[in-house]
Amino acid sequence: MLRHMHRSGFQPFSQRLLPWAVQSIAVPRSNHVQPSAIRHVRSWSNIPFITVPLSRAHGKPFAHRSELKHAKRIVVKLGSAVVTRGDECGLALGRLASIVEQVSVLQNQGREMMLVTSGAVAFGKQRLRHEILLSQSVRQALHSGQNHLKEMAVPVLEARACAAAGQSGLMALYEAMFTQYSICAAQILVTNLDFHDEQKRRNLNGTLHELLRMNIVPIVNTNDAVVPPAEPNSDLQGVNVISVKDNDSLAARLAVEMKTDLLIVLSDVEGLFDSPPGSDDAKLIDIFYPGDQQSVTFGTKSRVGLGGMEAKVKAALWALQGGTSVVIANGTHPKVSGHVITDIVEGKKVGTFFSEVKPAGPTVEQQGEMARSGGRMLATLEPEQRAEIINHLADLLTDQREEILLANKKDMEEAEGRLASPLLKRLSLSTSKLNSLAIGLRQIAASSQESVGRILRRTRIAKNLELEQVTVPIGVLLVIFESRPDCLPQVAALAIASGNGLLLKGGKEAAHSNRILHLLTQEALSIHGVKEAIQLVNTREEVEDLCRLDKIIDLIIPRGSSQLVRDIQKAAKGIPVMGHSEGICHMYVDSEASVDKVTRLVRDSKCEYPAACNALETLLIHRDLLRTPLFDQIIDMLRVEQVKIHAGPKFASYLTFSPSEVKSLRTEYGDLEVCIEVVDSVQEAIDHIHKYGSSHTDVIVTENEKTAEFFLQHVDSACVFWNASTRFSDGYRFGLGAEVGISTSRIHARGPVGLEGLLTTKWLLRGQDHVVSDFSEHGSLKYLHENLPVPQRHFS
């Protein structure tokens, strides 16, 4: 059976009558491009676009998710639960349109897409039910009036009849949707015989290859109008003996037959769980390996369709054995269905990925569990024991400095020419840096004596009923940092002091340095048996994927560029993020500023370490200082230090020949560049800071105490200074020992976040058979709510 609708611009793709149904629609194209040129530039309806050449020798499946972006030929299987509505009568048109859009995007990138779709039965059921109701209503209207219409009942509809009635309509719908993206689609209906009969199998293979060659999307389905009843599940034992009994097995068979790179199976669950979804302790399996099925308990199949999750797993493993990578994911969730297919192809952590290659180390989920367990053990140690671990780590930083610097030298050599100058400075370690780190760690050790378990408040609720509020760790922290290997021991020491488990994700540019520093950290932790409390994530996990682990991670702390922080804040779903996206620090030079102080403060704030987040970025100067010796000294000093000056709009208006006018007053340069702007008053300076600043660190330079106090009280930033460099905004300089970062948020912690910012509280109530009913209107007890003195002790 062949129905071919030929239009101008296409050659007929087959002149043969085939033993299965093929139905196609061709969309007119202008500026037709020959298939051989499709890899480079295509024109669709006069819209040219460039595609990335994709090529891969088929053989072994991809080992890691990150490799899926190289998939050239992809099969997408749409389960019945994805295609049909909740009432199982009719199609979920919104989901279907979104899937077609994603498939079209990938097809237009130069990939070869194939669909295996359910839905014919549901579509036919809708049509037949409508026809039956219509004919019944007409007959009853003729014979007995309208009074009995409510009593009409629709008979049970036979599935094969529904499929026969729905197949043409389903294909017409796909045709209409793909037409919107100037893509041609062709329908192929198959049965088991088409794969087991050698001649039919060759014909099917040839037709599919011809369709793909001409950029047509084959839409494949079992011919449910003639398919026999499902047989017992006695196959799936070898590569060559899979039967087509449902669309899961069809998709697997098609994927292997066509040597596809990737099979995406969309269902109504997030993927494969270690126990039936919805049951207690059910966990999504990120990566599934052959042989793991013994550890999985399968539940019932979905509300519609022939195959349950067990059938999907067997089909997926069969396809994997045949050289095709497989991902099973949710195609029905309204928050993810609009990008689930493209996310999978981009290598994002969606659904369950089937792989033959087991990682050498634990998964990030396992690392998270180890960090939580280790963190709880860490929190139970005595304060002196936690301090001993930190002091030992400080000793290791100095004792093993040669190994650390050698590893850092490798990172620097590999980064040369690839990283910008500010990032190279952050990446570099030195003996002086390691010594400073060791001093900071010893400060943390000393301050950790009064951290975890500190009693903050005591209240006598009633006689023999006492309440305490005590400090406790937050839980598991995820710290993501780039280019800053010195961040690792700082954050590790703060996590140890606060009893928190820690996941560390460093940038690959500092891989050698991070590895040795983490080994030294674990060596220090080992002296009290809590080695696993701090984990370094070395897997290929993307940052966005880590930000989705809301059941493992309690707080995310990004350390890096403003773009990194913004990306994490955007990606984090349900996990708090502590940090600042930008460090746009201001210094306002008042009309009553001291000549001797200004140049020293500006030089230190801008030039001491311009890549730091607390470096000066915008210099605000009072209008009365223009064309004065003080102003000339500032400009001369900046020129000597080779600082590039950008003029703000008002400053530029005062100059005949101005420096380059600033593109934006909200810029973090991170280099020897600064913006200079003119203001008329301290209030205008404050207004400018509130409009263009990032609430990080802002400074006033003046000898007028009243003006300074006005500035200190009215600037709404995490750190506000008077006659001091912006560079003092730092945990070590504040006496915190170190910091996990600087927070500009307005809850929990603000400014440099040290030990205190990594603690939360819990309430302990000690009673003697107290019940709330005793405190009712007619009860025997009354609330006292007396504040009690807080002893200098820890709870155990």
Tell me: the pLDDT tens digits for 319-335? 999 999 999 999 988 77
Q: Which uninterrupted H or E stretch holds 130?
A: helix 120-144
Given a cut of 80, is residue 419 above it in pLDDT?
A: yes
CA dist., res. 353 & res. 545, Å (int): 14
pLDDT at 21: 39
pLDDT at 120: 75
pLDDT at 517: 97
End-to-end CA distance of the chain: 79
Task: Assign 3-class secondary structure to 448-485.
Answer: HHHCCCEEEEEEEEECCEEEEEEEEECCEEEEEECCCC
pLDDT at 520: 97
pTM above 0.75, yes or no: no
In terms of C-beta density within 10 A (0-12 exposed, 13-18 middle, 19 or more buried), how is residue 19 classed? Answer: middle
User: 383: number of CA atoms within 13 Å, CB side?
Assistant: 16
Write the DSSP symbol of residue 333.
Answer: -
pLDDT in tens, 262-290: 999 998 888 888 877 777 777 888 889 88
pLDDT higher at 556 or 4: 556
Write the DSSP symbol of residue 744.
Answer: -
Q: Which of 280-284, 421-425, 632-636, 750-754 has the highest mean pLDDT?
A: 632-636
Contact (Cβ atoms closer than 8 angstroms) between residue 217 and residue 115: yes
225-239, 314-328, 521-535, 656-670: range with lowest mean pLDDT = 225-239
Given a cut of 80, is residue 359 above it in pLDDT?
A: no
CA dist., res. 112 & res. 213, Å (int): 9
63-77, 197-211, 726-740: range with lowest mean pLDDT = 726-740
pLDDT at 441: 93
Given a cut of 60, is residue 53 above it in pLDDT?
A: no
The confidence band for 248, taking pLDDT boundaries of 50, 70 and 90, is: confident
Tokens representing 272 are 């494969």
Interhelix angle 309-321/247-257, nearest 10 degrees: 10
The confidence band for 30, taking pLDDT boundaries of 50, 70 and 90, is: very low
CA dist., res. 513 & res. 491, Å (int): 15
The runs of H, that is alpha helices, within 608-704 are: 629-640, 649-653, 682-692
The confidence band for 703, taking pLDDT boundaries of 50, 70 and 90, is: very high
pLDDT at 280: 73
pLDDT at 139: 60
46-50, 165-169, 491-495, 575-579: range with lowest mean pLDDT = 46-50
Phi-psi region of 468 (alpha: psi -120 to 50; beta: other; left: phi over 0): beta
pLDDT at 144: 58
DSSP strands (E only) in 223-360: 262-267, 287-288, 325-330, 352-354
Residues 6+ apart with CB under 8 A from 172: none
pLDDT higher at 21 or 468: 468
Residues 6+ apart with CB under 8 A from 70: 54, 56, 62, 261
The confidence band for 137, taking pLDDT boundaries of 50, 70 and 90, is: low
CA dist., res. 213 & res. 528, Å (int): 64
User: What are φ and ψ of residue 477, in 5° steps?
Assistant: -100, 140
pLDDT at 32: 38
Given a cut of 80, is residue 702 above it in pLDDT?
A: yes
The average confidence (pLDDT) of the chain is 83
Write the DSSP symbol of residue 20.
Answer: S
103-112, 144-153, 380-389: range with lowest mean pLDDT = 144-153
The runs of H, that is alpha helices, within 698-789 are: 705-714
Given a cut of 90, is residue 361 above it in pLDDT?
A: no
pLDDT at 580: 72
Over range 690-695, report the average pLDDT.
Answer: 94
Over range 713-732, report the average pLDDT.
Answer: 93
Over range 172-181, report the average pLDDT.
Answer: 92
Residues 6+ apart with CB under 8 A from 314: 233, 236
pLDDT in tens, 626-655: 989 999 999 999 999 999 999 999 999 888
Tokens representing 99 are 């899937």
pLDDT at 694: 92
9-23, 271-285, 561-575: range with lowest mean pLDDT = 9-23
Structural Rg of the chain based on CA atoms = 34
Write the DSSP symbol of residue 643.
Answer: P
pLDDT higher at 205 or 483: 205
The confidence band for 564, taking pLDDT boundaries of 50, 70 and 90, is: confident
CA dist., res. 720 & res. 714, Å (int): 9
Given a cut of 60, is residue 700 above it in pLDDT?
A: yes
Q: Which of 415-429, 502-516, 542-556 has the highest mean pLDDT?
A: 502-516
CA dist., res. 83 & res. 99, Å (int): 10
Over range 373-388, report the average pLDDT.
Answer: 95
CA dist., res. 630 & res. 633, Å (int): 5
Residues 6+ apart with CB under 8 A from 535: 367, 368, 370, 371, 501, 502, 503, 504
Q: Classify the C-alpha dihedral 196-198-200-201 as positive or negative.
A: positive
pLDDT at 218: 96
Q: In the chain, what percentage of residues exceed pLDDT 70?
A: 83
CA dist., res. 43 & res. 28, Å (int): 11
pLDDT at 740: 81
Over range 506-511, report the average pLDDT.
Answer: 92
Given a cut of 70, is residue 5 above it in pLDDT?
A: no
Contact (Cβ atoms closer than 8 angstroms) between residue 427 and residue 415: yes
Distances (CA, A) of 335 to 95, 339, 553: 11, 9, 21
